[in-house]
Amino acid sequence: MSGRPRPSVFEREVCSAARLVWLVALTVAAMLFSLAAFAHEVRPAYLSIREEAPNELRVLFKTPMQGNARLALKALFSGRIEMMTPVVSHPTGDAMVQTWRIRTLEPLAGQRVLIDGLQNTMTDALVHVVLANGNTWTARLTPGTPSALIPASQSTWGVFTTYVRQGIEHIAFGFDHLLFVAALMLIVRDWRRLVKAVTAFTVAHSITLTCATLGWVTLPSRPVEAMIAISIVMVAAEIVRMERGQTSLAITSPWMVAFAFGLLHGFGFAGALVEIGLPQGDIPLALVAFNFGVELGQLAFIGALLTLAHVVRRFAAMPRGAAVASAYAIGIVAAFWCVQRLDAMFL
């Protein structure tokens, strides 16, 4: 009997995942208003401590802001210190940057650094220390572990694991990036083309992530965020077009569209990495680690959707037209972000 070839197991799982995406998208939509209340708090704080001379430190502390309110965090040291200059504060976008100089009466290595108030938040803090002898140390503090002991030196592995975790955490809370990947899965339902499209997206955002973080190419963050939301709306529209039997470049060559929009999304990743801060002595390593963490998170998301689809297929039938419903749900969420971000541009 002639007809359409029977789809492979992978293709059936991808199609089932497509039907699940609308549930994911609607869940995100329901969370939007609650997320808006603490979205800024999820962004990490950043503490930079540079020993310019023995026991003389220059401190930079960047904390997230919500409106005109700064997250109530304070950097403390276990040793005795003297203030050399007053704290100078100035807002930069969605963060407050504070700088001051102190003199510590005890060696910095061996002291504990504490981000007081971190235990009362939902965010974390990245601490970067440069000692007078050139040794560096980078650590990630969390609400459960708001303090750490400053060692005399740190291994390369320590820097790598710290930034890998930051990359994973960023993509986990990067709902716009995840929705773009989900929309891409709705268009690309053949595993070979999906691998090609995801690879193109990865290569593209890796290029702009590196270039933007190193300062070679820069774009304002707010227009980039608005364009990322628009890119999701455009891909959602292509899903509807495909379900109606129409064709376009996104449908016939999704890897090209994935690459083009990946360049844009890379600027979004770079904005997060610049906000976190980079260890000056280990910039290449931190870049590789952060990007690796982003990719791990992205692959985990794809794997989770496929696994969930496989499990659900065994117990329930998906509604017809779920792909179109998914596209509209994703488009509505992305359109909300677009309006929200465009409004923020003109405040």
On the question of pLDDT at 24 being above 60, the answer is no
Give the number of other CB atoms < 10 A from CB of residue 303: 10
On the question of pLDDT at 125 being above 50, the answer is yes
DSSP letter string over 121-170? SS--EEEEEE-TTS-EEEEEE-SS--EEE--S---HHHHHHHHHHHHHHH
Least confident of 23-32, 99-108, 217-226, 266-275: 23-32
On the question of pLDDT at 306 being above 90, the answer is no
Is residue 216 exposed (0-12), middle (13-18) or buried (19+ Cβ within 10 Å)? exposed
Span 209-237, mean pLDDT? 88
Least confident of 99-108, 149-158, 194-203: 149-158
Least confident of 12-21, 83-92, 182-191: 12-21
On the question of pLDDT at 155 being above 80, the answer is no
Q: Which has more pLDDT, 263 or 66? A: 263
Span 229-236, mean pLDDT? 92
- Please tell me the predicted confidence (pLDDT) of residue 7: 55
The proportion of the chain whose per-residue pLDDT surpasses 90, expressed as a percent, equals 20
Residue 13 banded pLDDT, cuts 50, 70, 90: low
Residue 32 banded pLDDT, cuts 50, 70, 90: very low
Residue type at position 73: L
- Which of 74-88, 119-133, 323-337 is the most confident on average? 74-88
Question: CA angle at residue 343 from 43 to 67, to 5 degrees?
Answer: 45
pLDDT tens for each residue of 58-86: 999 998 877 677 788 999 999 899 999 99
Please name which of 87, 176, 73, 178 lies closest in space to residue 126, comparing C-alpha atoms: 73
User: Which residues lie across from 194 on neighbouring strands?
Assistant: none
The proportion of the chain whose per-residue pLDDT surpasses 70, expressed as a percent, equals 83
Least confident of 134-148, 279-293, 324-338: 279-293
Span 93-118, mean pLDDT? 89
